[in-house]
Structure 1
Amino acid sequence: MKKLFFLLFAAISAGGIQAQVKQGTIVYERKVNTHRTITSEQMRAMIPEFRISKHILMFSDSISLYKLIPEDEAPDPFAGGGGGGIRMNFSIGGSDGGDLFKNFAQSKSVLSSELAGKNYLIVDSILQQPWKLTNETKKILGYTCLKATRKLTVQVAAPRMMVFGGGNANPVRDTSRPQPREIEVVAWYAQDIISPVGPDSYGQLPGVILQLDSDNGATVFTALEIKKEVDQKLLKEPKKGKTVTAAEFNKMRMDMIQQQMQGGNGSFRIGG
């Protein structure tokens, strides 16, 4: 009788383990509230309230790759179905368009980015994120997700306003220094999907993040579709570009902004 009970318990446990997902492909919608940093009603009338983009996260239990989905490919990312994986073409271009690769076993991240027409690989360490776990739950795409929160200090600069007149755009420069501000990040993660990954740079939770709200709606990531398979051939570390540290890349970017401002050209583009 004891042996029969043990075998039954083992079978149930094995079934539970098999139900857990350790790899997959997730499509997210990122929704940025652009009006949050604009006080001018005239400017708000000219700019859509939300900037929406779609991104794809491919992951195993120890490696992930996060990419922007170009707009012309965004509507049907899982077209084709079957078990053959997702077929897409991706663009590289800065913080919005670059590929973010993470190797959790090596605690290493690599972000491909573009600056002034040159490609860079920003190599950094994956640092532990101090999440506060709670017992609050909600359903997302059929998965029971748990809530986690964390505080984050960000540098916030006032937006640069553009005044239009006479057919030319004349920048009104803001010379104030960015000010630190503490924000709250709320994440909902699925424990049944075992991988410490999430959208963008977020992660380090006991399951994949399916929804994330940064600064009370300023930026919201929401999983739209989940596939329990991943094309392992696509989980590759970016190799195109000069290897730099995050500090080196940020310095180059700030130097370029400074040069643009001193040159009197208020319109400039970095990355995508």
Structure 2
Amino acid sequence: MKSVFFKNIVVAVLFISTSVIAQDFQGMAVYQTKTKLDVNFDDSRIPADRVKRIQEMMKNQLEKTYVLTFDKTASIYKEEEKLDQSNGGRGGMRFMMMGGASSGKQYKNILEKRLVKEQEFSGKNFLIVDELTPYAWKMEQETKMIGNNMCFKATAVIKEEKKEALKFGPPSNDEEENKEDKPKEMVDVIITAWYTLDIPVSNGPANYWGLPGLILEVSAGNTQILCTKIVMNPKEKVEISEPKKGKEVTQAEFDEIMKEKMIEMRERFRNERQKNDGGQHFRIRG
């Protein structure tokens, strides 16, 4: 039964490929992303009205829209441009994710298995150049409709560093020291993806790829990604080219740069807390 199911998939891919990939086509897909964070306000001593405002700002930061522009072999994935309507600076309160970095364009080349990402961190521009993450996809037999597209389910398991609950407010010195000395704990994260054979390109949102059709939905840990719009062969074509701006580093090198900066920032906040003698500071840490 299972062999018949996969044989039907292969036949469908071959049939669609001859009619679609034979053309020099380009497509555009819009994705909505949502990430949930476990945040603890218990020890923050923040008034209830401010907690509500902080939660609104967090929602604005964790719910975003991205556009994937793709052809047969490559893609550009970037956040949709919009006016900043957050109230991050109102009332003397700032919202800051410790260690946060701002992402620009992300380029994937499926044939070369190459990933290039623009990243801004601590006032500097970086260009992360690395190999695409290989996913050991397991094809499932479940199907569902996403919009007008029949989608098939696939799952994969990856190792990630365990994320601690985020706390609001300044940590104690003991907490900071324990965190720095504590070894990383790795956990299994199940990725569930839904892809469509209607668009037979081995691509998808963010870092995801490697299936016989465009990935329209992803669930991984606390993050959900859903395609809300697809346009094939738009009148105005977009150039899909590799970004060139920034200092070239690998992902491992960039992670090390961030780690060193985090240690520096923790030390600075610790010194500021001692100087301000109990003044109120707001930040998220995890």
| Superposition TM-score tier, normalisation by shorter sequence | 0.7 to 0.9
Extract unaligned runs of 5+ from structure 1: 1-12, 74-93, 164-169
Whether the aligned pair in 2 keeps the contact of 1:197 and 1:207 (CA below 8 Å) is yes
Residue matched to 2:233: 229
Between the aligned partners of 2:109 and 2:237, the Cα distance in structure 1 is: 14
Residue matched to 2:209: 203
Extract unaligned runs of 5+ from structure 2: 1-13, 45-50, 85-99, 271-280
**Correspondence 1:233-272 to 2 at 5 A:** 233-264=238-269
The farther-off stretch of 38-47 and 236-245 is 38-47
Pick from 43, 48, 73 the counterpart of residue 62 of structure 1: 73
Q: TM-score, normalized by length of structure 2?
A: 0.70
**How much has 1:39 moved relative to structure 2?**
4.6
Whether the aligned pair in 1 keeps the contact of 2:168 and 2:283 (CA below 8 Å) is no
SS in 1 for 2:83: helix
**How much has 1:233 moved relative to structure 2?**
4.0
2:39 maps to a residue whose letter is: I
Residue matched to 1:100: 106
Between the aligned partners of 1:60 and 1:253, the Cα distance in structure 2 is: 33
Between the aligned partners of 1:236 and 1:115, the Cα distance in structure 2 is: 23
Whether the aligned pair in 1 keeps the contact of 2:203 and 2:211 (CA below 8 Å) is yes
Give the 3 Å change call, closer, same or farther, for CA 52–247 of structure 1 in structure 2. Answer: same
Residue matched to 1:147: 153
Residue matched to 1:186: 192
Between the aligned partners of 2:17 and 2:254, the Cα distance in structure 1 is: 45
Between the aligned partners of 2:282 and 2:43, the Cα distance in structure 1 is: 19
Whether the aligned pair in 2 keeps the contact of 1:68 and 1:96 (CA below 8 Å) is no
Give the 3 Å change call, closer, same or farther, for CA 47–178 of structure 1 in structure 2. Answer: farther
Pick from 114, 119, 124 the counterpart of residue 125 of structure 2: 119
Provide, for residues 142-200 of structure 1, a one-character-per-residue CA deviation record: whole Å limited to 9, x for no partner: 0000000111211023244233xxxxxx3455514442111211100001111111111
Between the aligned partners of 1:19 and 1:135, the Cα distance in structure 2 is: 25
Residue matched to 2:223: 219
Provide, for residues 75-95 of structure 1, a one-character-per-residue CA deviation record: whole Å limited to 9, x for no partner: xxxxxxxxxxxxxxxxxxx76
Residue matched to 2:8: none
Between the aligned partners of 1:239 and 1:130, the Cα distance in structure 2 is: 30
Pick from 164, 188, 201 the counterpart of residue 158 of structure 1: 164
Structure (1 or 2) with the greater helix fraction? 2
Give the 3 Å change call, closer, same or farther, for CA 210–146 of structure 1 in structure 2. Answer: same
| Count of residue pairs brought into register by the alignment | 228
Provide, for residues 209-263 of structure 1, a one-character-per-residue CA deviation record: whole Å limited to 9, x for no partner: 1011112xx1100001000025554211111111111111111110000111122
1:63 maps to a residue whose letter is: A
The percent identity for this pair of structures is: 26
SS in 2 for 1:227: strand
Between the aligned partners of 1:95 and 1:204, the Cα distance in structure 2 is: 27
Give the 3 Å change call, closer, same or farther, for CA 263–108 of structure 1 in structure 2. Answer: same
Give the 3 Å change call, closer, same or farther, for CA 127–16 of structure 1 in structure 2. Answer: closer
Residue matched to 2:55: 47
Measured on the aligned residues, the alpha-carbon RMSD in Å equals 3.0
Give the 3 Å change call, closer, same or farther, for CA 95–196 of structure 1 in structure 2. Answer: farther
Whether the aligned pair in 1 keeps the contact of 2:66 and 2:79 (CA below 8 Å) is yes
Whether the aligned pair in 2 keeps the contact of 1:194 and 1:206 (CA below 8 Å) is yes
Between the aligned partners of 1:267 and 1:252, the Cα distance in structure 2 is: 24
1:32 maps to a residue whose letter is: T
Whether the aligned pair in 2 keeps the contact of 1:65 and 1:102 (CA below 8 Å) is yes
